Amino acid sequence: MILFHADDYGINTAQAKRILACHSHGSLNSVSLLVTSPEAAKCVPLLPEDIRCRLHLNFREGPCMSNPAGIPMLVDDKGCFRLSFGEMFLRSFFGGKRFKAQLKTEIRCQILRMQELTGADTPLRVDSHGHYHMIPAVWDALFKTCEELQVEIREIRIPAEPFGPILKDPRLLIKAPVSGFIKNLVMHLLYARDRIAGSQPKDFDFKKNVPVFFGMIFTTRMTRVPVKRLLPSFRRLAAAQGRDLELMFHPGGLSADEPLWDERFREFHTSPNRYREARTLCSMSSAPARHTK
């Protein structure tokens, strides 16, 4: 199975419809839902039956889901998330039990909200805004919370992209952003820790529940040239490992005059690259058949 996936679904209904245009006119067959969005409940009914929906766990921006008074280490005085990826990583080691308890509190609320919006019988699939779930404390809190709720994670994103395909393409290698390589290396290191010492069940199947990932080195730059050149190599790699393949896109661009829940991230959400990635998804209408939930 190939997942042509869009992150950040559900900021508002206009953004949701822009993302879904990549389904009706292209290859999109999977989205990540920001359940913390005030308009998430309006965006879920717009989803076609043949689009898979993941929980886009959010500790990065906008309002929290739980009572802000109960998670002061995660949010500001307005109840909005305030920790960067690096700050969250450091808190993993120095935040203590109180910090981990607050993570579980918020994760629990987001999982329950996901079930409320998509149905309690819908398989739980998870990734996160800014890949925060790879941070050790967040990873452990996620699996411990699922254990307490008696919920099984059926699919989880591991954004540790294989280096092989791009290293074999010198022309793309030269154009690839250095920051993408650094971020990808960090994800590989975190994955090694999480897989070896994480709180996932001992029988958690990383082959079955983790698709091969394509989209870290060219994050927000998944345009036609890198996708067209690298997709065949990633498809062969996933097939050889007997795993699904996920391509991550960010096609849901906001216009400059649209309201946004957290102004710190306006440049990220209005980036022209989002429209370029949307055009890439829409140009791939000959992709394999879409898949049901």
What is the full per-residue pLDDT of the chain (293 aa) written as tens digits?
999 999 999 999 999 999 999 999 999 999 999 999 999 999 999 999 999 999 999 999 999 999 999 999 999 999 999 999 999 999 988 889 999 999 999 999 999 999 999 999 999 999 999 999 999 999 999 999 999 999 999 999 999 999 999 999 999 999 999 999 999 999 999 999 999 999 999 999 999 999 999 999 999 999 999 999 999 999 999 999 999 999 999 999 999 999 998 999 999 999 999 999 999 999 986 444 444 44
For 17-54, the pLDDT digits (tens) are: 999 999 999 999 999 999 999 999 999 999 999 999 99
**Cα–Cα distance for residue pair 69/66, rounded to 1 Å:** 9
Yes or no: say if 278 and 253 are a contact pair by the CB < 8 Å rule: yes
The count of other CB atoms within 10 Å of the CB of residue 117 is 19
**Cα–Cα distance for residue pair 176/227, rounded to 1 Å:** 12
Yes or no: say if 16 and 43 are a contact pair by the CB < 8 Å rule: yes
Q: In Å, how far from its chain's centre is CA 129?
A: 5
For 253-291, the pLDDT digits (tens) are: 999 999 998 999 999 999 999 999 999 999 986 444 444
**Cα–Cα distance for residue pair 175/168, rounded to 1 Å:** 13
Q: Going by C-beta distance under 8 Å and a sequence separation of 6 or more, which residues neighbour residue 278?
A: 18, 19, 21, 22, 249, 251, 252, 253
Yes or no: say if 175 and 131 are a contact pair by the CB < 8 Å rule: no
From the number of C-beta atoms within 10 Å of its C-beta (0-12, 13-18, 19+), residue 2 rates as buried
φ, ψ at 49 (rounded to 5°) = -65, -25
Nearest Cα residue to 227 out of 177, 279, 174, 280 = 280
**Cα–Cα distance for residue pair 74/80, rounded to 1 Å:** 8
